[in-house]
Amino acid sequence: MMSEVENTFPAGPWLQELVRQSLAEDIGKGDATTAVTVDTAAVGHGVLAARDEGHVAGLPLLDLLFAELDPAVKVERLVADGTRVAAGQAVAQLSGPMASVLTGERTALNFLQHLGGIATLTARYVAAVAGTKCRVLDTRKTLPGYRALAKYAVRCGGGHNHRMGLYDRVMLKDNHWAAAGGAISALVGRSRTRFPELDIEVEVDSLAQLAVVLPLKVEWVLLDNFDFDDTAEAVRMREEASVPTLLESSGNVNLETIGGYARAGVDAASVGRLTHSAPALDLGLDMEQS
């Protein structure tokens, strides 16, 4: 049965092209090792298993990858994306021509280990804010071409997606303040006029700046590198102002600090390392000839 998160698995011609390019960069003119070791008529069965505990992500890519490489390879997914698995637990089975399975092995693992690592790290952050209202957000700090997959993996780990790109939210950071000579009110007004359908988020790096921004009633304020005490004061100021603005902590957010920000009362904390520094989830494929 497909999990709820798998209903959001990305799709489109770009994904098929990414799979195609990934296979091409590995195979090149041909898999020389498999050519000299595996009889083209040999069929086999392989089990893809986790070697560490973690959360799996990206299993639907197996279907896309082997459909591109060799449709004779049959894929059976044993768990759903987002599942927490134990070390040694099987997550998928592959059967068919052994040569094709072995040729596609590394590319498949590259996808699943990277995405599983993101999901696993995200789940650790989500656990660190359990019992609070704080959502764990990703950022745009993703590998070029992998953004939709990386953000899907964040969802597999129980996290939430911040903006997908520059097009789906107005994000007024310190450099934008500087470019406009500090006239944040004018920037917000211009944003409302030109992009009325988009949420507006304003970055502040002090409580004084927050006091200026709160009356503008933007949808989000990003508290950049605030300490816990100032974060709690920012939450108090927001409540006193009776505005619907949501507060996001950012900067110096790690597994040791995110709980403190969450307990201070913020609505979300964004973590760039979810997608730019997640260790791979160790997975392996063991083959047997039929």
36 plus 107 within the same structural domain: yes
pLDDT at 214: 98
pLDDT averaged over every residue in the chain: 96
* Confidence band of 1 (pLDDT split at 50, 70, 90): low
For the segment 226-241, the average pLDDT, to the nearest whole number, is 98
Phi/psi for 124 (5° steps) reads -70, -40
Q: What is the pLDDT of residues 193-203, one digit of tens each?
A: 999 999 999 99
83 plus 145 within the same structural domain: no
| Rg of the Cα atoms in the chain | 23
Q: Known catalytic residue: 106?
A: yes
> Which of 94, 66, 102 shows the shortest CA–CA distance to 78?
94
Q: What is the pLDDT of residues 116-166, one digit of tens each?
A: 999 999 999 999 999 999 999 999 999 999 999 999 999 999 999 999 999
Q: How far apart are the first and last CA of the chain?
A: 28
For residue 31, give the CATH number of its domain.
3.90.1170.20
* Count: domains in the chain: 2
Q: Known catalytic residue: 141?
A: yes
Q: Residue 118 is encoded by which pair of tokens?
A: 């993101």
17 plus 147 within the same structural domain: no
121 plus 136 within the same structural domain: no
142 plus 260 within the same structural domain: yes
Catalytic site residue from 224, 230, 233, 282: 224
Q: How many angstroms separate the CA atoms of 204 and 214, rounded?
A: 11
Catalytic site residue from 106, 140, 263, 273: 106
Catalytic site residue from 77, 124, 141, 169: 141
Q: What is the pLDDT of residues 247-278, one digit of tens each?
A: 999 998 999 999 999 999 999 999 999 999 99
Residue 112 DSSP SS3: helix
In angstroms, how far apart are the furthest CA atoms of the chain? 74
For residue 138, give the CATH number of its domain.
3.20.20.70
267 plus 283 within the same structural domain: no
188 plus 118 within the same structural domain: no
Catalytic site residue from 20, 140, 173, 273: 173
182, pLDDT greater than 80 = no
pTM of the entire structure?
0.96
101 plus 168 within the same structural domain: no
pLDDT at 290: 75
114 plus 148 within the same structural domain: no
Domain holding 28, by residue range, is: 5-126+279-289
Residue-by-residue DSSP string for 244-287: --EEEEESS--TTTHHHHHHHT-SEEE-THHHHSPPPPPEEEEE
SS (H, E, C) 156-190: HCCCECCCCCCCCCEEECHHHHHHCCCCHHHHHHH
Catalytic site residue from 31, 138, 201, 203: 203
134 plus 259 within the same structural domain: yes
156 plus 265 within the same structural domain: yes
151 plus 79 within the same structural domain: no
